[in-house]
Amino acid sequence: MYNIAKTILAAEKVLKRIKETKGNISFPINPFELLKDIGAIITYSNFDKLEGLLLYDKKKSVVAINMNRQITRQRFTAAHELGHILMHTQVHSNNFLCPISGIKNDIEKEADSFASNLLMPTEELNKQVDMYQDKDGKVGMDECLLIAEYFGVSFEACVKTICFRLKRFEKDLDNVELTKEIKKYRPTTKRKELFESTTDLNLLMNAVDYSYFSIVNLNEIIGIRFIQNLVYHDSRIEKVNVTKEEVNGIFADLRIHGSESEYCKSENQNIIEALGNIEMNQYCIETKEELDIFKIKDLNKMLYKYAPYPEYAGMYRNSDNMILGGKIQPVPYTEIIDKMNELNKVIQSVKENIDKYSISEYVSIVAGIHYNMTILHPFNDGNGRITRGLTNWLLRLKKLCPIYIDSDNRDEYLEALQKIDQDGNTELLQTIIIKSMMKVMAELHESW
């Protein structure tokens, strides 16, 4: 039978431990940190019908979270899995499958209740409602949106908790009616209107700092699939018209025949650039050479290795370029070497201090280097692909998984770079990098 008292008590014990350890409880509470503290391994998967998966035994717990869900939902899932670990050790099962929808059993209901009471403790929730209450002590949709932001939870979870646990929502509705009202309210649109900057990046940073990420082995099947996806999407971002089938065929033939591959003799510019992109990215992901900014000349040579005039590859531009229709404009060509020296000092400092950075701090640094490479624009062509290759090299130094930008998100990626150009705000680019890391880890776990 569903035991709500047990779930409240379990959540209160965790909250008490946080207060004893840190001196006070700050919100939003980070369930990823709590999972890591008890030795759980946190990663991501591309689930269809599951919010999360818990592989559990007495030695270790592996928590896989649906990377397709919003960060607020991922946080709830992390807290939910924590509830399983703390409350359900008596259940003799190797794993818990936590569904997105459908009828939930008592164990799943208990884990949900634990998560809700942990992320939105009743005492603190009442305090927040008190701040926005009307004359009857109730709050409406707009106020719930503010409160949800404070706790780092989904709008729907916040509204329903205030309605059913506190009985302090402005309307007396059942669950079906309230769900309809929430959809009608369009919280995602309202959130954009209400907040100039949301807390999503901070929540993602809280997650990424305690998650497990690994480098990719390009000799394994999943690594081969990764490099194929990377080159396909990377090419399409640059409007190089190559299909997935072509990329897969090129990669397979290149692995078997090397420089004798039939594709190496192609006169098709798209094929030539895809070939070079494969070799450049393999190098960035696998090389043991020391990284400095001047290695980008080698990257450019690899990218255009199979071009008709490869001797011109790796040469810095000798004129000023303008990106038509772009708000990001390259530095004057006369400043390239000076800017590269400046950027190289940053990279060397990062390498020397790499162990001091949290994952989120490092991602922020990588995003800054990524942008500076974009405006440096040292070559006549290939700058975007080289910048993204360099980004993967930097991620590997921190033992993080490489990424690729999905070509369907090309506009968002360009918007992120333009936003830095306009006001120096790297938040959107950091968000893209973190979500891409989650996506790659999910692809590594497709067999799950």
Q: What is the pLDDT of residue 416?
A: 94
pLDDT 10s digits, 146-183: 999 999 999 999 999 999 999 999 999 999 999 999 99
Domain shared by 287 and 434, yes or no: yes
Residue 211 lies in a domain: no
pLDDT < 70: residue spans in the chain: 57-58, 91-94, 322-328, 447-448
Q: Are 37 and 141 in contact (CB under 8 A)?
A: no
Find all residues with CB under 8 Å of 147, minimum gap 6, and list them: 125, 128, 129, 132, 139, 158, 162
Q: What is the pLDDT of residue 95?
A: 77
Q: What is the pLDDT of residue 27?
A: 97
Domain shared by 396 and 324, yes or no: yes
Q: Of 119, 138, 155, which residue sits at a domain end?
A: 119
Please tell me what DSSP assigns to residue 169. Answer: B
Q: What is the pLDDT of residue 311?
A: 78
Q: Of 119, 145, 165, which residue sits at a domain end?
A: 119
Residue 184 lies in a domain: yes
Q: What is the pLDDT of residue 317?
A: 93
Q: What is the pLDDT of residue 30?
A: 98
pLDDT 10s digits, 346-386: 999 999 999 999 999 999 999 999 999 999 999 999 999 99
Residue 209 lies in a domain: no
Q: How far apart are CA 53 and CA 245, in angstroms?
A: 32
Residue 382 lies in a domain: yes
CATH label of the domain that carries residue 373 = 1.10.3290.10
Residue 38 lies in a domain: yes
pLDDT 10s digits, 396-442: 999 999 999 999 999 999 999 988 988 889 999 999 999 999 999 99
Q: Are 42 and 36 in contact (CB under 8 A)?
A: yes
Residue 205 lies in a domain: no
**Radius of gyration for the chain, computed over Cα atoms and rounded to the nearest angstrom:** 25
Q: What is the pLDDT of residue 91?
A: 65
How many Cβ atoms are within 10 Å of 311's Cβ, its own excluded? Answer: 9
Domain shared by 73 and 131, yes or no: no
Domain shared by 311 and 388, yes or no: yes
Measure Cα distances from 227 to 132, 210, 217, 447 in Å. 51, 26, 10, 18
Domain shared by 64 and 170, yes or no: no
Q: Are 165 and 126 in contact (CB under 8 A)?
A: no
Domain shared by 84 and 152, yes or no: no
Residue 327 lies in a domain: yes
Count structural domains, the chain: 3
Q: Are 177 and 192 in contact (CB under 8 A)?
A: no
Domain shared by 255 and 337, yes or no: yes
Q: What is the pLDDT of residue 205?
A: 97
Domain shared by 104 and 132, yes or no: no
Closest listed residue to residue 146, CA positions, set 136, 131, 134 = 131
pTM, two decimal places: 0.92
Domain shared by 62 and 16, yes or no: yes
Q: Are 155 and 144 in contact (CB under 8 A)?
A: yes
Residue 292 lies in a domain: yes
Domain shared by 274 and 338, yes or no: yes
CATH label of the domain that carries residue 94 = 1.10.10
> Which alpha helices (H) appear in 23-105, and where do they start and end?
31-37, 71-87
pLDDT over 70 percentage in the chain:
97
Domain shared by 55 and 142, yes or no: no
Q: What is the pLDDT of residue 308?
A: 82
Domain shared by 182 and 321, yes or no: no
Domain ranges, residue 162: 124-200
